[in-house]
Chains A and B, each alone.
Chain A
């Protein structure tokens, strides 16, 4: 079912549907998705609402009976955000140590990309990245904004264990492993910042719509930050 707001509704199962926009992910679309999610989460029959780059999954606490009702309802919400306000996210600075000991794949990747290692680090740390959504692993942010010169296909064979804190590049994306996990991205650095902790509230401080920057640090500063984090006096919010 297509309609004037540019999305298509897919029925996933008896209580779940997916709205899918046939357009390139953008901050405008992201703000639409976040607005829809915020509004829908207040509706009692909506159990949960999750976003992807250009899609929104909605699960009801009952069976979907009247698809047309929901379609009109989504359109009504979307018509209320004609003026796309700029996303008011927070800005985070994530320190990253790109030294070889912490970046097992950086030399290989720089050769494959025909870049000098320093140039690779510069291209990775100069941009600001927009957080689109959290997925894959607990707290793992999907980011846009990677310089096209750093795009490179994932490893053919994923590594069985990528350590928590690894900063990596895969395809057109860059990301931070938030827990130890198997993974097929190229590891180019390490951050001491923990992006996910089930014992804190909220467990994940980064939210869709926020921006993050990577700040190059050396292994001495890495140690200092680790000590600061333990003491609780390190601040990385800008």
Chain B
């Protein structure tokens, strides 16, 4: 077991996601930043689908009730183990009674805390990812005990896994043209592709809304499937980017689709972060 002593700003349990239920309206969920999630598990030789804690903006404070190994990846949160700072992308041994304390994010926005053997909460519809209405809680809402698996990790001395080319301040999000991209006129396309946009305060696991509106009068469309990374334009010109917990269908024109790398990058950004779109012509 691990005990959540302080929950942080928005902490949730995430495995790779809930894949087979989008046909009945259930979002995929899973980690916002799949790359950082994957690395956190990889460091401990955990299987890719192992459930971890996704910690946003400010992480939790946790007491361990069992000896195990942990690793953190993603945003830098000045994490301390028993009062001593620990590094990201490195396995650490923790003992029963140890306290892990995560601070506020300094670089990036979401940190993944992986535990050897993984979090072992109940699976609902094939996944442990928390989502309101599916799992009993939509995120970690109070001081709770969370079951964890048995650790079988054997550390290799001095090995740490640092991802290459991580630049959370990179402003460029790569997009493919969406199915309704063609209904935009040249001025609108130019504004979208040449201006710097900013993330508004409406950003969460469901969707990111941008601060700047596009001047347009686009029609609504016959409701159609959307996926994480789909960028919709509402009748008042708001740009909404669907994220991992987002709805599975939408009725607004889909002007862009983020590629997978850019969804991960966007997940590490927050209110006021500047972004620019780069159109990829070929998939």
Contact status B224-A64, CB under 8 Å: no
Q: Could you say which of B25, B124, B227 contacts A12, with CB atoms under 8 Å apart?
A: B227
| A-B contacts at CB below 8 angstroms, number | 110
B176 with A134: CB separation less than 8 A: no
- Asked if A166 is at the interface of the complex by the 8 Å CB criterion, the answer is no
Give residues 5-27 of B contacting A (CB, 8 Å).
19-26
Known: A13-B176, A18-B224, A20-B224. A50 touches B22 (CB 8 A): yes
Report the minimal beta-carbon distance from A137 to chain B, rounded to whole angstroms. Answer: 6
Minimum distance in angstroms from A225 CB to a CB of chain B: 22
- Asked whether, in the complex, the Cβ of B134 is within 8 Å of the Cβ of A142, the reply is no
Q: Is B229 an interface residue (CB 8 A)?
A: yes
- A50 touching B259 in the complex, CB below 8 Å, given contacts A12-B179, A136-B25, A139-B25: no
Bits for A31-62, please: 1 = Cβ < 8 Å to B, else 0: 00000000000000001111111111101000
Residues of B with Cβ closer than 8 Å to A? 19-26, 124-125, 132-134, 176, 178-179, 220, 222-225, 227, 229-230, 247-249, 257, 259-260, 283
The reply to whether B283 and A48 form a contact with Cβ atoms under 8 Å apart is no
- Could you tell me if A12 and B248 are in contact, using CB atoms closer than 8 angstroms? no
Q: Is the CB of A13 within 8 A of B229?
A: yes
Interface residue stretch chosen among A81-89, A90-98, A101-109, A196-204:
A196-204
CB of B125 within 8 A of CB of A18, answer no
- A50: chain B residues within 8 A (beta carbon): 22-23, 225, 248-249
A59 contacts which chain B residues (CB < 8 A)? Answer: 227
A133: nearest chain-B partner, CB-CB: B249
Contact of A198 with B248 at beta-carbon distance under 8 Å, contacts A54-B222, A55-B225, A203-B24 already known: no
List of A residues within 8 angstroms of B223 by Cβ = 52-53, 133, 135-136, 142
Q: A13-B260, A196-B25 are in contact. List 4 more A-B contacts (CB 8 A).
A: A12-B176, A135-B225, A136-B248, A142-B223
A232 vs chain B, min Cβ distance (A): 22
Q: Are B225 and A138 in contact (CB under 8 A)?
A: no
* A25 interface contact, C-beta 8 A: yes
Residues on A facing B (Cβ under 8 Å)? 10-14, 16, 18, 20, 25, 47-57, 59, 64, 133-140, 142, 171, 178-180, 196, 198-199, 202-204
Closest chain A residue to B248, Cβ basis? A135
| A-B CB proximity, top 5 nearest | A135-B249, A52-B224, A57-B225, A53-B222, A179-B133
Chain B CB within 10 A, most for which of A50, A51, A57, A138 = A138
Q: How far is the CB of A30 from chain B (nearest CB, A)?
A: 12
**Are A18 and B133 within 8 A (Cβ)?**
no
Report how far A64 CA is from B20 CA in the complex, Å: 20
From A55, A56, A138, give the contact of B25 (CB < 8 A): A138
B23–A134 contact, CB under 8 A?
yes
Minimum CB–CB distance from A44 to chain B (whole Å) comes to 15
Docked-complex contact A48 and B224, CB < 8 angstroms: no
- In the bound complex, how far is the Cα of B257 from the Cα of A138, in angstroms? 23
Which residue of B is nearest A55, CB measured?
A: B224
Contact partners of A196 in chain B: CB under 8 A = 24-25, 133
* A48 pairs with B20, CB closer than 8 A: yes
Residues of chain A within 8 A (CB-CB) of B230 are 12
Q: How far is the CA of A140 from the CA of B22 in the complex (A)?
A: 11
Residues of B within 8 A of A57 (CB): 224-225, 227
The smallest beta-carbon distance between A34 and chain B, in angstroms, is 11
For B282, give the chain A residue with the smallest CB separation: A11
Question: Can you sample 19 A-B contacts with CB below 8 Å?
Answer: A12-B227, A13-B227, A20-B179, A48-B23, A50-B225, A50-B249, A52-B222, A52-B224, A52-B249, A54-B224, A135-B223, A135-B247, A135-B249, A136-B223, A139-B24, A180-B133, A196-B133, A198-B125, A202-B24
- Do the beta carbons of B179 and A10 come within 8 Å of each other? yes
